[in-house]
Structure 1
């Protein structure tokens, strides 16, 4: 690999002119910066007039050849003619507009997946196909990103980013919460008995100073997405095809919102998973990224533009546009080009990883041939009521925006394969998320509805979304295991009310409860339960809450919102591990007294003097008041997916009979 001679000479002259004593007087950070600059320059691809043609040499009317694969791994050529040069098509992005003809291009026209196809004039590389237009009569008009712009991508540094975590967040999770609320009716909070919430509000002290939340677990929403790529523009970057294999239509629909966000185009039906063939790493071949590999595959791809040594350029536009990254690169095998009226698309299969994507910029991608980052292994097992059992083993890319969503896709597809997509269903789900350097997150959950087991995979992997999307520190997910048992019936029940044996109790007394449940399409039943009042329960009024898991979580978030806004990764993991299975009835006793949450930890017993000192106005978001303190919490397992809740007032009196 060569370096720019002038810059190389300047650095070497600087180095040789420095005596050791002089070097000692240099600031250490400056020495590091100089060494880093030399390393980056040594890795940059040098401009070579015999190989590359500068933009100022290109004029309208000049003709040339473009190389790309139309089938298999055979690189073929077609002709093009330069129509015009457009400066600053986007900031710092010039475009060569051209029209193509000849060979198989006459049959397909410009196609998704051709991004990166190298364009040559008199044997010199001028750039790569990157732009196209919708609804063309012939589909022969396209834009070329100049090679200067693509080489600049490599000059940003050809080393993987060890701190890469991606900037994207999966935006489809809000829908899953809505699905669960739909199952329960109009929302968990609305299923409380008549007047229950008003009763809770009237007896719970209201904090005088609301805290400012900084982050809480839950869905991420983007009111205006600055990263969204407009796919309705008449002239735009060629969409990146995403070829799926082994996935159901519902699974693909689930992840489509994030594909739209990145300007990617889902393609189903390319057949098979990866294919075992030898693919030369050369200009014109299929180049892309395996988002998932194994029993199902998800492959996004374009074309190789240029290869020099162990460096590779492609696409002529971004993959995600995330800058210095650390993601796997794979080569592919092209089955055929599917001609479509709006725009044709290449149908490709992944072959194998061949290196690492290190730069993902506006005018192209750059990577290193060799080793590649690892994937997250996922093991799934689904068993149906009639004894059908099936497993799925695959790996998903380590990407903040895709890892969780792709994992869910596999579960949805497996459920569709062995069960049904709608109708009465009940699912028991056991999930283990293994983390490096942190405790495993183990969850058992229960789902039931008339819309199939659709909510099970999304809700069971809710902790994965939160861990991957957390703002505290990068946490490596080592593996994921999900075990699902499905029954062909709906087991849901709503709490209609609760009755107790008396209203006055002293500490240590037992409360005998009779909980009225109404199962789906069945007469009401009575569920009995007994709890013991804590010995340290203070005299006065208390509240007994009997509720579903979802309703209880809603109440707790209303009572002590900062308990659900962790301030570090340990608090987040603890919060995620706390979740209850939804076939439990939650029984709580709380007293209406003011407490505080400090740095994510609830402190219900703080003296009023300390709370008064902490209730100052010089900071916000670090602490906040709670509406009452929970002094007892127990769970009562049932065979139903529970919804709703009810409350009763108690009088605690040490002199009660």
Structure 2
């Protein structure tokens, strides 16, 4: 027998959730990259479509202010030294004035948008500086609306800030509510018209198990906010019902300043079930954008700048974007400010949302636009947690999260992380069973999917691994794929913990026989070691393909979490979900023989037994194609009583079938 390497594999260190981590990071990274590429034309179109002339601006301004009695002052009329006042809520729900004096005008601070510099002599701001949560506070000079407080300086000794001109903000109000462009399920056969983002190559590897060489991870430059620079006032991310780990996860996801203990989630009904009373909004009122409500709540707090519409149903707020994602459908609520928390870096308002009052319909460079006559749906999420300690009670949390391609998976993951943090702080060996039940609707109708996986954590739980749970990956795939955006109706997720270490680590893999011929039954000896325990050897038999003679084959042995079944390229979202449901259990061992010959995964199925010349013919050249090559293989899956960790590879030169001469 000739071997290109010894028959004993090199040891590979086992990693907790190794297969899941790779699949999550790959799918998320490539789907994000594909989303940015897909979004680029929209961004370019946004620049082209922006009103370019004074006439266009005046037209937008006239249409927007028709129902508003507040006169406005254009930037051209503002001079250094002019004095005025701003309006915001410092405490409670009643707004109050603060004096300002114009320093100067910065032309083209943003694209076609100047910034108005001001200083405030107000004693409250002399102590705290410009406060996060004051974003959107209307500024008046000579009784006319100038714009919204939107910018400030970090670590500044004086309360100097920047104003977004109301002229630029009114252009956002002139934009219509566009539910037709929001992501939604397709209503007909074939590809959806929704703006779903494609991650075909990424999903091919992460979701279908195909051996695709992915693009390298996208490298993001660090966000640089020079201390001396005028920057957007970060809107406080008020969170309620979350612990430190989940709060950190939310801060990382949204890039906002987290303020714990300041969210209620904006109740939609009164305790007796009656609808909440409609608020009569005015400039300076505190407003919260609702990302989650219920037992766990997340708000983004700011201030209303302008009120318009025939019945005061149109609002402009913030003076800067929240996520800068264009058309949106996220609920808003009125809010109560508890206190301003002073800080040398950036003071913030601690505020709680009160009652749901409308919907954020636009999220743009100069403002967010709100409609109080439109109701935005939220997705119910039930999170169940059972601690490892039998004397600790199980808990259940009921929340609702906002809909969004990126929002929904991230918010749902934060709820799971919070439950894990409460249940799994023990510094002991833990096994976690994570289960997701997702009810959703595609163009083919309603459907449900259940995803369950088992994870092992030595000496305490890792919340980062919990954030990459496979059910969350499936939820992301429902919303971010190349076919359509599913309408998620409800989510149930559970976390069950147990003490113990039911782990067997693969320590070595050997071939039992001296010579390996094509068609032989290959005998593998696999050394498994218990955590802090004894070593034992298991034997596994695997048939070598009949036509593998005089080829080099690669034998790969891993646990069920480290392998994904090959699947055909999907034609619809339902096909993709069917593929996702085909998984190997954590308590299994998967042995695979890979060969140099390739097959093709197409929308018509897996094409494995085809000559190389035919393979080349079937693979379109010079254009993007959904057909993906993969290495041909033979595979066997063995159920085990314990979770299998680690992976090993070894290469073997296969001799011709017995009785056939060697060439």
Taking the aligned partners of 2:656 and 2:461, their CA distance within structure 1 comes to 44
Matched, 1:244 2:239: yes
1:46 to 48, 56, 66: 66
3-state SS of 1:465 partner: helix
**Any conservation in 2 of the 1:161–1:325 contact (CA below 8 Å)?**
no
Distance 1:614 1:418, change over 3 A: closer
Matched, 1:255 2:250: yes
Query: Mean Cα displacement is larger for which, 642-651 or 112-121?
Result: 642-651
Displacement of 1:628: 2.2
Residues 160-239 of structure 1 aligned to structure 2 (within 5 Å):
160=179, 162-164=181-183, 221-224=218-221, 230=225, 232=227, 234-239=229-234
Distance 1:456 1:344, change over 3 A: closer
Please list the CA deviations of residues 244-263 of structure 1 after superposition, one character each: whole Å capped at 9, or x if unmatched. Answer: 11111111222333322xxx
Distance 1:445 1:537, change over 3 A: farther
Which residue number corresponds to residue 70 of structure 1? 90
Taking the aligned partners of 1:115 and 1:330, their CA distance within structure 2 comes to 16
Query: Mean Cα displacement is larger for which, 603-612 or 147-156?
Result: 603-612
3-state SS of 2:120 partner: strand
Displacement of 1:168: 12
Please list the CA deviations of residues 205-251 of structure 1 after superposition, one character each: whole Å capped at 9, or x if unmatched. Answer: xx9xx9897x9xxx9745358xx684755311111110111111111
Which residue number corresponds to residue 466 of structure 2? 456
3-state SS of 2:434 partner: strand
Which residue number corresponds to residue 354 of structure 1? 357
Which residue number corresponds to residue 294 of structure 2? 294
Which residue number corresponds to residue 367 of structure 1? 370
Taking the aligned partners of 2:94 and 2:480, their CA distance within structure 1 comes to 41
3-state SS of 1:363 partner: coil
Which residue number corresponds to residue 205 of structure 2? none
**Any conservation in 2 of the 1:358–1:368 contact (CA below 8 Å)?**
yes
3-state SS of 1:334 partner: strand
1:633 to 633, 636, 640: 636
Q: Structure 1: which 5+ runs fail to align?
A: 1-38, 175-206
Instruction: State the Cα RMSD in Å.
Output: 3.8
Which residue number corresponds to residue 572 of structure 1? 576
Which residue number corresponds to residue 194 of structure 1? none
Taking the aligned partners of 2:516 and 2:297, their CA distance within structure 1 comes to 62
Query: Mean Cα displacement is larger for which, 88-97 or 635-644?
Result: 635-644
Taking the aligned partners of 2:319 and 2:163, their CA distance within structure 1 comes to 8
Displacement of 1:314: 0.6
Taking the aligned partners of 2:213 and 2:540, their CA distance within structure 1 comes to 39
Please list the CA deviations of residues 366-419 of structure 1 after superposition, one character each: whole Å capped at 9, or x if unmatched. Answer: 111123221222112121232231112212111222221221111111122123
- TM-score with structure 2 setting the length: 0.74
Taking the aligned partners of 1:129 and 1:653, their CA distance within structure 2 comes to 80
Displacement of 1:590: 5.5
Residues 477-488 of structure 1 aligned to structure 2 (within 5 Å):
477-488=488-499
2:107 to 87, 91, 95: 87
Aligned length: 559
Taking the aligned partners of 2:162 and 2:512, their CA distance within structure 1 comes to 79
Greater relative contact order structure (CA < 8 Å, 6+ sep):
2
Displacement of 1:75: 1.0
Taking the aligned partners of 1:423 and 1:266, their CA distance within structure 2 comes to 30
Taking the aligned partners of 1:476 and 1:470, their CA distance within structure 2 comes to 13
Taking the aligned partners of 1:530 and 1:45, their CA distance within structure 2 comes to 78
Query: Mean Cα displacement is larger for which, 128-137 or 567-576?
Result: 567-576
**Any conservation in 2 of the 1:317–1:363 contact (CA below 8 Å)?**
yes
**Any conservation in 1 of the 2:182–2:327 contact (CA below 8 Å)?**
no
3-state SS of 1:407 partner: helix
Which residue number corresponds to residue 448 of structure 2? 440
Displacement of 1:612: 4.2
Distance 1:383 1:68, change over 3 A: same
Distance 1:628 1:271, change over 3 A: closer
3-state SS of 1:44 partner: helix
Distance 1:271 1:256, change over 3 A: closer
Matched, 1:147 2:147: no
1:269 to 256, 261, 264: 261
Please list the CA deviations of residues 155-200 of structure 1 after superposition, one character each: whole Å capped at 9, or x if unmatched. Answer: 122444542489999xxxx9xxxxxxxxxxxxxxxxxxxxxxxxxx
**Any conservation in 2 of the 1:259–1:266 contact (CA below 8 Å)?**
no
Query: Mean Cα displacement is larger for which, 455-464 or 100-109?
Result: 100-109
Displacement of 1:107: 4.2
Taking the aligned partners of 1:568 and 1:95, their CA distance within structure 2 comes to 48
Taking the aligned partners of 1:274 and 1:50, their CA distance within structure 2 comes to 29
Which residue number corresponds to residue 55 of structure 1? 75
3-state SS of 2:374 partner: coil
Taking the aligned partners of 1:620 and 1:105, their CA distance within structure 2 comes to 57
Displacement of 1:74: 1.0
Which residue number corresponds to residue 392 of structure 1? 397
Q: Structure 2: which 5+ runs fail to align?
A: 1-58, 185-193, 203-209, 271-275
**Any conservation in 2 of the 1:595–1:627 contact (CA below 8 Å)?**
yes
Matched, 1:522 2:523: no
Taking the aligned partners of 1:90 and 1:569, their CA distance within structure 2 comes to 40
1:123 to 143, 156, 159: 143
Matched, 1:493 2:539: no
Which residue number corresponds to residue 475 of structure 1? 486
Please list the CA deviations of residues 126-161 of structure 1 after superposition, one character each: whole Å capped at 9, or x if unmatched. Answer: 2111111122223x2111112111111111224445
3-state SS of 1:399 partner: coil
Which residue number corresponds to residue 5 of structure 1? none
Distance 1:367 1:93, change over 3 A: same
